[in-house]
Every structure is written in C-alpha cells, then in structure tokens.
C-alpha cells in the first residue's frame, strides 16, 4: 500500500472542520448545497435548521462514499464506525423527513428513502402480519359488521346483508318485553356487587402481604392464593355445588354444627349473587394481587425511611405511602372493570343457574344465549347483545373521561 | 436486606402487624381448605364421602374414584381431545401472537399505530355472540376440530403483552447490527429475538394453555358430536348436569354402591381435571408473575 494514500486518508479523517470538507466535495453535492441555501433563505426556522443539518450531512457523505449504512431507517453513505448523532447532535427523525420534502431526495449520495422503499426492504415484517390480521378481520370485524342483523329480520339463507331491514323493531321488542327490567336489574346487581367486593379484595391482600417481612410466609400465601386461578369455571361451579349441597358439602356440616337446619343454598334466589361474588373473590384474589404487589415493589424506599424518621406508624405508612403508590394501577383496572360492567361472566352464571334461582340469576348474556342460539331467534338476541355492548362502551368512555379529569390516570 | 431498626416498634404497630398476620392466615386457610377437602375426599372411600366423615385427611383411603374415571371411555376421549386442543391451540396461538407482536414492536414498521388502534377497538367493542356464531357457521367449520382452534387463534391482550416485552427487552441496536450484517427480518426474529424472549414465550404458553384447557364455552356453542367434546364439556355433563349414563358405571350391578361412587367420582374428576395446569404452575411461576406485570403496568 503506497504510503501517500494512507497519509491522505488519515489527513481527511483528521480534518473535520467544515471548510476543509467543502473543498473536497464533488460538484453534484455542491450544487445541492446551493439549493439548500435557497431553501434556508426562504423557509421557516425549522426548515432552515433542517437544511443546515442536511447540508452538513451531504458534505460528509460526498466526501466518503463508502458501504451503505442505515441510520434511523434511512439508507445513507457514511463512515460506518461513526454515528450521525455524534457528528450532528441535534439531528432527529423530524428534521430528516422535512429535508426529504424540501428536495434532497434527488441526491444520489444520500438516498433518503420513502415509505414505499422502506416497506420493500422490510417486506418480511409485513408478510408476518398478514395472517394474524386476516384472523382479526375474519373473527372480530366480520362479526362486528354482522351486528347489523340487530336491525334486520335475519334469515340464515340470505346472510348478514340480504335480510330484510326492520329498523329498531328488535330493540323496541326487547324494551317492551316483560323480561327487560328483570334482566337489567339482575345484571346490575351482580356486576355492581362484584365491583364493590371483587375489585378491592386483591388490593387489601396485596397491602397486607406487603407488610410481611417473613419472606417464606409471604411466598406461601402468595402461591396458595394464586392457585385457584387455574381452576376452570366448570370445576369451580361444581365445587360450589358440591360444597353447598345439603347432602354432601362441608358447608352443610358447619350449618348443622351451628344447630341450624340444612339449607339448599343454590336453590334460594337471594343467595345467588353472594355465592357468585364471593366465590369469585376466592378464585381471583391471588391473581389480582400480583399486579398490586408489583406496584408496591416499585414504591420508592426513601419514602418509608422518611416516614420512619417522622415517626409514622405502620398503618399510617400504608395509608399515606402504599395506597397512593398503587393508585395509578388501581384506577386503570377500575376503568377496565367498569367498562365490562354489563358483561358479568356468562360462563359461570350459566353453569350456576338452576330452575329454582333463575329469578335472580338470569342476566343479559345468558338470555342472549338462550334466546339466540338455543331458540334460534338470531336478530332479537343480537339486538339485546348490541344494546349491552353499547352501554359498556359508553360506561368505559365516561369513566375514562372522569378519571382523566380527576386523577390524571386514564387509558388514553 | 433488613436494616437494623433503630426505633423500637410501638404497641400500635405490633398490634397492627399481628392483625395483618391473622388476616393472612385466615385467607390462607379459606383458600387452602376447599382444595385439601377435594383432594382428601377423592382418595376416600365412597361410604366415607356420602356420610360426610371426611374433614381434613382421607378416610378409609381408596382409589375407587380414580379407577372409575380411568375405565370410563367418555372421560378418556375428553381428556385426549383436551390435550389435542391445548397442544395445537397453543402452537397456533403462540406463533400468531409472535407474528403480530414482533412487527408491532418495531418503530420502523409502517402502520403500527393503525394496527394497534384496530386491535384496541376489538378489546372495547365486539359484534356479540350471535354474529360471532354465524361467522363461524358461514366458514363451515361448525362441529369440526377447527372450530376449537381457529376462532380463538389470537388474544389481543397477549399480543400487547408480547409487544411490550419485545419493545423493552430487545435493544434497537441489536436489530440495526443484524441488519448491517445482512440478516433478514425472519432470520433476526428466529435466531435472536426468540431465544432472547424465553420468559415471554413461557408466559404466553401458560396463559394460552390454561385458557384452552379450561375453556368450555366455544365447545358448548360450536360442537355437537360427542367424540369431539373436550374434557370440560364432559365434566359439565357429569358434575353439573348430573347426567351419568349407564355405560359410565363399570359395575352397573352394584346399585347400592353406585350413588356413593357417583359422588366420589366428582371429587376425583375435579382433581384429575385440574392437576395438569396446576402441576406446571410452580415451574413457570416466576415468568408468570413477570408476564402479568408487563401486561398490566406497561401495557
């Protein structure tokens, strides 16, 4: 290798001042720089800044057209060993895009690529997404489109759009049916009851667990309370039925031990919502607590130190440090819960129903299933379901709005 | 990590701590007792179960309930079907989730915001049960094994968990370096992203597997053929609807023992149906907690 060449290379690398670079820039690049100057004169401040930075970039690139190198998704020519951000600290995605619009794209040396070219380079990513997107469209959006049968008199032969349009008839049928208020009442009782009990229970468990310093006891409680999460709904309901049965269950033994008559709990309508809600607490408390425990682990330990110095009691620490610490997580989950308030788990309620308790156990979702699928009354039950979904959506939006106004914590 | 406590705990604090321990002990017993009761009953004799003599430990230990289960063709088919649905379902679920979540985690992926909006909408609003059923019907997969695999091929929530994981644990520089070296997107996903994402894969597998194993609703509305029923439907028939057909009882002539055996069978069935999911839980617990945290706090 000739000595001169190496020296020259070293020389170039060392002379990074702008003037020396400009001398060596080829004519095409220089032309471009001139064009940029015009833009700088006419454009606003942002464009000026962008143009200035791009000018530097152009000068740099025209100096050393080396192997292709990607910077922020844009293919450029540059020193691969040096990041642009170290040369031009303030350069960012926005400015580069701006400059591209100004007309630098024609420059052969700096090939700022358009969206189409970027897609072509990453075609594999778009290929990956196709199948899942097809799934989303087929199993989520086609049913959404099909929800219009709520406004039609659906016949299976004619399909979603071919059936006769009947407007709001199905809805008015539902509102005028004798079941309407009963369904709304049952659904609301069960869901509000759940929200009041099932929602705060894991918070209390997490706060209590957080007080425990004995790691082994803490872990045991956590493991055990988590386990029921894995029990399926069918098994859960059959456990409830077994335990509460007047003949077999241990609950009955306790009742007898207390000197009372055997009670057929599942047959008494008034007990239904309590059985449903408290068994949900039993099954979900450990799972729900995990989230809050994570939030509590993230609380700044300095706060506890400070509280100790100030002489706060344990209970005061819980009240003034722990609870504010889990508030953001709690509010997000509360919003999500309220958004589901009309969706009281179909699976469990349906399994828990028996002829004796339907007066309090019939809720909207079970009604939809019975009327729609078992009774093949598609349009009517689709209308009931749609009504339910819309109420949920409105509640979700409303709660999110209030949460944002009051506490700065919201989904969006 | 306990630092020596300089200030002595006050009476109030001690009392508070005592109450906390008492409360947790109470919860522990409340949660644990029904589980122990089920297991103990399942290992007891039929007579002990119906006379209510089982309190804590098995009384007159026997395996009668389990013998009845494993000689019942219906339950065995259900078990095999559930294993089938769970295995292939999870396979489909996890690949679909990664296929969607990985591109969404790339900031260079065009249209990721649009796709996210599409996904989030499905979480807040759905067409409802009837159009869902009709869609599956129109696809012609009603009462086939596909009806158990395809309609639930993807859960949006899991996609968001996985996307958050990819975004926060796979450094962007890694992708850039791989691209420089001429690695394709497929290659990068397969050789670098997936090996680095074992925790999230474990979480996905567990979440989906539990979902498939425990699901009965899709089977309830989509399946009619007995031989396709998963275990949960069979459980429902036996445990809740109480419909045990004659073929169920091996010793049909032992009429006296039948009622007892029928009750015992329920306890044994509950154990047999729950053990598979419960058994894998301790092994993946660490990842599982991690996964819930990723999904809930950052998602």
Residue A34 is assigned to a structural domain of this protein: yes
Indicate whether A303 and A399 sit together in one domain.
Answer: yes
A354 vs A267, B236, B237, CA distance in Å? 7, 14, 14
CA distance A365 to chain B (A): 9
Indicate whether A182 and A154 sit together in one domain.
Answer: no
Tell me the C-alpha distance between B10 and B236, whole Å: 54
User: In the numeric block, which tokens belong to residue B227?
Assistant: 């031989």
Residue B191 is assigned to a structural domain of this protein: yes
What average pLDDT does chain A have?
74
What average pLDDT does chain B have?
81
Indicate whether A134 and A96 sit together in one domain.
Answer: no
Checking if the pLDDT of B92 tops 90, the result is yes
Which B positions 157-176 lie with beta carbon below 8 A of chain A? 159, 176
Strand partners, A70: A75
Least confident of A189-193, B47-51, B265-269: B47-51
Least confident of A59-63, A256-260, A304-308, A317-321: A59-63
Indicate whether A270 and A131 sit together in one domain.
Answer: no
Least confident of A40-44, A157-161, A231-235, B17-21: A40-44
The domain boundary residue, chosen from A115, A130, A155: A115
pLDDT band at B87 (very low <50, low <70, confident <90, very high): very high
Per-residue pLDDT tens digits for B118-140: 988 888 788 888 888 888 988 88
For residue A238, give every residue at least 6 positions away whose Cβ sits within 8 Å of its Cβ, in sequence order, or none: B235, B239, B240, B266, B270
Q: How far is CA A393 from the centre of its chain?
A: 15
Could you tell me if A206 lies within 8 Å of chain B, comparing CB atoms?
A: no
Average pLDDT over residues A389-405: 84
What percentage of chain A exceeds 90 in pLDDT?
6
Indicate whether A85 and A202 sit together in one domain.
Answer: no
Indicate whether A140 and A229 sit together in one domain.
Answer: no
Average pLDDT over residues A175-195: 87
Residue B116 is assigned to a structural domain of this protein: yes
Torsion sign over Cα A73, A76, A82, A86: negative
Q: Do B150 and A139 touch (CB under 8 A)?
A: yes
Got the DSSP string for B134-146?
Answer: HHHHHTT-TTSTH
Tell me the C-alpha distance between A253 and B51, whole Å: 11
Q: Which residue from B10, B50, B99 is facing A128, i.e. has the nearest CB?
A: B99
Indicate whether A205 and A328 sit together in one domain.
Answer: yes
Residue B159 is assigned to a structural domain of this protein: yes
pLDDT band at A49 (very low <50, low <70, confident <90, very high): low
Q: Give the CATH number, domain containing residue A363.
A: 1.10.3720.10
Indicate whether A247 and A317 sit together in one domain.
Answer: yes
Which A positions 223-262 lie with beta carbon below 8 A of chain B? 223-228, 230-235, 237-239, 241-243, 247-248, 250, 252-253
When scoring B127, B132, B181, B203 by the number of chain A Cβ atoms within 10 A, the one with the most, hence best to mutate, is B127
Q: What is the pLDDT of residue A57?
A: 57
Burial class (CB in 10 A: 0-12, 13-18, 19+), A304: middle
Q: Give the CATH number, domain containing residue B85.
A: 1.10.3720.10
When scoring B128, B186, B224 by the number of chain A Cβ atoms within 10 A, the one with the most, hence best to mutate, is B128
Residue B27 is assigned to a structural domain of this protein: no
Indicate whether A142 and A211 sit together in one domain.
Answer: no
Q: What is the pLDDT of residue A205?
A: 92
Indicate whether A294 and A395 sit together in one domain.
Answer: yes
In A138-184, the DSSP E strands lie at: 152-153, 164-165
Element (H, E) at B253: none
From chain B, the residues in CB contact with A348 under 8 A are none
Q: What is the pLDDT of residue B90?
A: 94
Beta carbons of B43 and B61 less than 8 angstroms apart: yes
Q: Do A294 and B297 touch (CB under 8 A)?
A: yes
Residue A210 is assigned to a structural domain of this protein: yes
- The count of domains in chain B is 1
Q: Which residue has the higher pLDDT, A407 or A6?
A: A407
Checking if the pLDDT of A321 tops 80, the result is yes
Beta carbons of A74 and A95 less than 8 angstroms apart: no
Q: Is B60 left (phi over 0), alpha (psi -120 to 50) or beta?
A: left
Q: Residue A68 in 3-state DSSP?
A: strand
Give the number of other CB atoms < 10 A from CB of residue A59: 18
Q: What is the pLDDT of residue B26?
A: 93
Per-residue pLDDT tens digits for A251-302: 777 777 777 777 777 888 888 888 999 999 999 898 888 888 888 888 888 8
ipTM field: 0.83
Indicate whether A214 and A249 sit together in one domain.
Answer: yes
Give percent helix, percent strand, percent coil of chain B, each to the nearest 5: 75, 0, 25
Average pLDDT over residues A320-336: 84
Which A positions 7-66 lie with beta carbon below 8 A of chain B? none
Average pLDDT over residues B164-181: 85
Residue B1 is assigned to a structural domain of this protein: no
pLDDT band at A9 (very low <50, low <70, confident <90, very high): very low
Q: What is the pLDDT of residue A92?
A: 39
Residue of A357, A215, A223, A178 lying closest to A297 (CA atoms): A215
Give percent helix, percent strand, percent coil of chain A, each to the nearest 5: 75, 5, 25
Query: What interhelical angle do A378-407 and A323-338 show, nearest 10?
Result: 150
The domain boundary residue, chosen from A81, A115, A149: A115
Residue A412 is assigned to a structural domain of this protein: no
The domain boundary residue, chosen from A54, A82, A115: A115
Could you tell me if B240 lies within 8 Å of chain A, comparing CB atoms?
A: yes
pLDDT band at B241 (very low <50, low <70, confident <90, very high): confident
Could you tell me if B277 lies within 8 Å of chain A, comparing CB atoms?
A: yes
Residue B178 is assigned to a structural domain of this protein: yes
Q: What is the model's pTM?
A: 0.74
Torsion sign over Cα A159, A163, A167, A168: negative
Q: What is the pLDDT of residue A41?
A: 52
Residue B195 is assigned to a structural domain of this protein: yes
Average pLDDT over residues B168-180: 85
Checking if the pLDDT of A17 tops 70, the result is no
Burial class (CB in 10 A: 0-12, 13-18, 19+), A374: exposed
User: In the numeric block, which tokens belong to residue B219?
Assistant: 């089977």
Checking if the pLDDT of A354 tops 80, the result is yes
Per-residue pLDDT tens digits for A139-151: 989 988 888 888 8
Query: Which residues form the domain of B256?
Result: 66-299
Tell me the C-alpha distance between A272 and A59, whole Å: 78
Q: How many CB pairs under 8 A join A and B?
A: 263
Q: Which residue has the higher pLDDT, A339 or A109?
A: A339
Per-residue pLDDT tens digits for A380-389: 888 888 888 8
pLDDT band at A32 (very low <50, low <70, confident <90, very high): low
- The count of domains in chain A is 3
Checking if the pLDDT of B161 tops 80, the result is yes
Give the number of other CB atoms < 10 A from CB of residue A305: 11
Residue of A8, A182, A212, A132 lying closest to B162 (CA atoms): A132
When scoring A132, A348, A386 by the number of chain B Cβ atoms within 10 A, the one with the most, hence best to mutate, is A132
Element (H, E) at A265: none
Residue B186 is assigned to a structural domain of this protein: yes
Indicate whether A265 and A392 sit together in one domain.
Answer: yes
Query: Which residues form the domain of A151?
Result: 122-165
Q: What is the pLDDT of residue A88?
A: 41
Tell me the C-alpha distance between A48 and A339, whole Å: 48
């Amino acid at each position: 290798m000739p000595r001169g060449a190496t020296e020259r290379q070293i020389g170039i690398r060392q002379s990074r001042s702008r003037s020396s670079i400009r001398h060596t820039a080829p004519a095409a690049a220089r032309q471009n720089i001139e064009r940029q100057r015009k833009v700088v004169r006419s454009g606003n401040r942002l464009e000026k800044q962008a143009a200035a930075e791009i000018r530097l970039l152009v000068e740099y690139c025209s100096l050393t057209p080396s192997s292709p190198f990607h910077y922020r998704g844009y293919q450029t020519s540059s020193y691969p060993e040096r990041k642009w951000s170290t040369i031009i600290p303030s350069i960012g995605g926005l400015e580069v895009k701006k400059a591209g619009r100004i007309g630098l794209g024609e420059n052969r040396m700096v090939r700022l690529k358009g969206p189409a070219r970027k897609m072509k380079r990453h075609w594999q990513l778009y290929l990956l997404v196709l199948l899942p997107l097809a799934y989303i469209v087929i199993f989520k959006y086609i049913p959404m489109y099909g929800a219009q049968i709520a406004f039609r008199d659906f016949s299976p032969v004619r399909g979603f759009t071919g059936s006769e349009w009947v407007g709001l008839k199905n809805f008015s049928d539902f509102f005028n049916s004798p079941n309407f208020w009963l369904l709304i009442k049952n659904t609301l009782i069960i869901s509000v009851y759940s929200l009041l009990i099932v929602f705060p229970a894991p918070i209390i468990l997490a706060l209590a667990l957080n007080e425990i310093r004995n790691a082994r006891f803490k872990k045991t409680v956590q493991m055990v309370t988590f386990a029921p999460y894995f029990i399926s709904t069918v098994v859960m309901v059959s456990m409830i039925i077994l335990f509460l049965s007047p003949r077999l269950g241990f609950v009955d033994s306790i009742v007898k031990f207390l000197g009372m008559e055997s009670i057929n709990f599942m047959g008494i309508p008034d007990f239904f919502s309590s059985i449903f809600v408290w068994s949900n607490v039993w099954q979900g408390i450990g799972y729900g607590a995990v989230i809050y425990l994570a939030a509590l682990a993230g609380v700044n330990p300095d706060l506890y130190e400070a509280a100790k110095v100030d002489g706060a009691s344990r209970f005061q620490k819980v009240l003034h440090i722990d609870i504010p610490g889990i508030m953001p997580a709690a509010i997000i989950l509360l919003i999500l819960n309220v958004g589901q308030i009309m969706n009281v788990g179909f699976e469990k309620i349906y399994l828990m129903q028996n002829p004796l308790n339907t007066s309090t156990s019939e809720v909207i979702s079970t009604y939809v299933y019975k009327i729609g699928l078992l009774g093949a009354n598609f349009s009517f039950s689709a209308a009931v379901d749609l009504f339910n979904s819309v109420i949920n959506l409105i509640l979700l939006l409303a709660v999110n709005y209030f949460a944002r106004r009051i506490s700065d914590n919201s989904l969006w | 990590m306990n630092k020596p406590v300089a200030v002595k705990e006050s009476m109030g604090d001690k009392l508070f701590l005592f109450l906390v321990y008492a409360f947790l002990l109470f919860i522990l017993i409340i949660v644990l007792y029904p589980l122990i009761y089920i297991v103990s009953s399942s290992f007891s004799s039929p007579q002990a179960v119906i006379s209510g003599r089982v309190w804590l430990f098995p009384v007159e230990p026997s395996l009668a309930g389990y013998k009845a289960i494993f000689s019942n063709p219906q339950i065995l088919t259900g078990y095999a079907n559930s294993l089938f649905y769970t295995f292939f379902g999870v396979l489909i679920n996890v690949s679909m989730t990664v296929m969607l979540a990985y591109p969404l985690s790339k900031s260079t992926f065009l249209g990721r915001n649009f796709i996210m909006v599409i996904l989030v909408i499905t979480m807040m609003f759905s067409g409802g049960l009837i159009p869902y059923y009709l869609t599956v019907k129109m696809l012609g997969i009603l009462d086939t094994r596909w009806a158990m695999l395809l309609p639930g091929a993807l859960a949006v929530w899991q996609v968001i968990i996985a996307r958050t994981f990819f975004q926060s644990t796979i450094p962007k520089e890694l992708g850039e370096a791989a691209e420089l070296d001429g690695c394709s997107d497929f290659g990068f996903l397969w050789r670098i992203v997936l090996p680095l994402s074992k925790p999230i894969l474990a979480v996905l597998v567990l979440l989906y597997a539990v979902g498939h194993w425990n699901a009965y609703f899709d089977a309830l509305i989509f399946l009619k053929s007995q031989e396709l029923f998963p275990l949960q439907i069979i459980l429902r028939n036996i445990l809740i609807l109480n419909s045990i057909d004659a073929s169920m009882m091996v010793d049909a002539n032992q009429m006296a023992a039948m009622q007892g055996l029928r009750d015992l069978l329920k306890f044994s069935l509950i154990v047999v149906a729950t053990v598979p999911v419960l058994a894998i839980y301790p092994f993946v617990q660490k990842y599982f907690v991690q996964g819930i945290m990723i999904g809930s706090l950052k998602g």
